[in-house]
Structure 1
Amino acid sequence: MVIGTFMPAPAYAQFPTAQLGDVVPRDVREVYEKGLQYLAKSQRESGDWSEGSYAGPGVTGMAVMTFLASGEDPNYGIYSSNIRRGLISIVNSQDPTSGILGGNSGHASMYNHGFATLALAEAYGVVNERLLTTGGKKLDRSLGEALELAVRGAVTSQKKNSYGGWRYGADAKDADTSVSGAVMVGLLAARNAGVKVPDEAIDRGVAYFKSMTSSSGQVAYAGLGGFDNSTPRISIGCLVYAVSRRKDMPEFKATLAALTNQMDTSGGAYMSYGNYYQAQALFQGDVEAWEKWNKELIRQLKAKQNEDGSFSGNYGTTVETSLSLLAMALNFRFLPIYER
């Protein structure tokens, strides 16, 4: 995947109870609030989050979703300015012609587009757009208009792709399941938000994942074959099948079985990325398995969190912190994409 001074603790927002009736664990609330404080103070004046090569609207989208995922009020809450400035930055990054968020080419282009589209979809309908102003001026596009344009950009990119998926650049001819997962979840979130997404685009994306899934539930990365027990890729495939409402497919059942047979939160260089997707996939497929896995995740993240509230890792602190917190966000069950 490509894509200072500790703040005094503000008063806690009113953390909700989960929709299934369970109180959000105290450790989750404490770890999450420290992480939000870190993200709030590390946001740039321009509204984005940036750390060297880990920058762009996808990174900003991850951070914005982190605030929304715990139920923070984007209009009048203590972090409302952070959320709104992040959204303004995302909309301003959009190419008005192609609709691609963050540029049409480059190693992280469609990663940025997928995660930024997801953030716009999750914010759409909950943000008072009259408050989205820069220097007193309204944005060139509303969130709804930006989201519709982003969907069009993703669909246009897919039409150029013989595999039916996506790769790094919008004009790429090959595809991989990691980038394709980011874009597919963004499209599915847009559809859930009420934006028209062509059925053909979803069907082609699902067919691509089907072609990359083995009977044992392993999901290949790119090209032909190459199946292995990659937890992130298995989780991405499982989530795509679930959110696209294809739980009747044998590929969904196979990927879910593969996940529940190797419930691991400790793995490798892509740990935060894998945890982000595995949390959602398990929650969509097997809540009991997710509850067991989630307890271990909370324990590990509490031990791993830095004093300033951030998380460290290969992707830089903004991405690592956002992905780590979002992996815990199922405990709040606020984002529409997290609904079963």
Structure 2
Amino acid sequence: MATISPPVAAIRVAVRDALRGVRGHVLVACSGGADSLALAAAAAFVAPRAGLVTVDHGLQPGSAERAAAVVSWARDAGLAPAEVATVDVSGRPGGPEAAAREARYEALLDAASRHGAEAVLLGHTRDDQAETVLLALARGAGPRGLAGMPARREVGGVPLLRPLLDVSREDTRKACAALGLSPWEDPHNADPSYARSRVRHGALPALVAALGPGVVGNLARTATLLADDTAALDSLATAALASARTPDGSLSVPALAELPRALRTRVLHAWARELGARPAALSHRHVAALDALVTAWRGQGPTHLPGGIAVSRAGTHLTASSRAGKTASSLADGAPSGSSPAEGLLL
């Protein structure tokens, strides 16, 4: 009887666990790197109906040829459909990393919709999670940022699953070697102009050298623990936001004032997003200014939020208006039903 390489077995188990309860078609997002290639090979083995999408950003010479090679391998491995999604990242807001990420996820969600996929599998590993936590620390992020990448997140009705968050990057390389696969090494991953690359090749190895190899797993475990705490607080914040609403769509200051700060700021953050403030532009200082209207109000003027939204205190109520003159209630009417403080965040 042939012996299965332990890394191959571990990845197959991780994928099988992630797909528990999923009965229909799934798609694997595969760049051709070791992480996503090992993931795709495991999905081909354990998932009865799995396909593959590789995104060609067109940012490097030969990218189309590499994408075609990934699709050719996928078809030979029994993954169907297997296709290339070519995207254009030019003209998008943010830096090149953010533009590529936004285009990539749009392409993956489009493919999932066209093929009726029940989920999309992503190849982020435990090392990626540790890097994400370090980057969040450097930005001064709160618990939500330090919670890192979720193992499951639903976007546009499509579950995005990350089965490998407990698997090391080294094990994905070993799995590829055991299966005779030749992963592609993206030169962008070693480019020091990218913050994640500097963390991967500088900051994280320095921490491992100073504190031992357990640092990577401990950082990833921190993300898991904070994700659990954040989910619980978000659930409480959703209920508290509903309780603080008044019939005209404003928020009751006394109801907010009696909440613990950690809960109150989540309520204010969720309300700001509901009013139309873009999550990427909504910062700690905006929420702190809203909180000051509740806890340190001395007649100060309105707090201005991204998107041209102004929040003012009138007596015992917080009210909002936009440049177009809409009130808080009309602004909230456009918010998605059942929205929660955690919706629309990361990745």
Q: TM-score, normalised by structure 2?
A: 0.26
By percentage of residues, which structure has more strand?
Answer: 2
Q: TM-score, normalised by structure 1?
A: 0.27
Q: Which has the higher contact order (CA 8 A, sep 6+)?
A: 1
Greater Rg by CA: 2
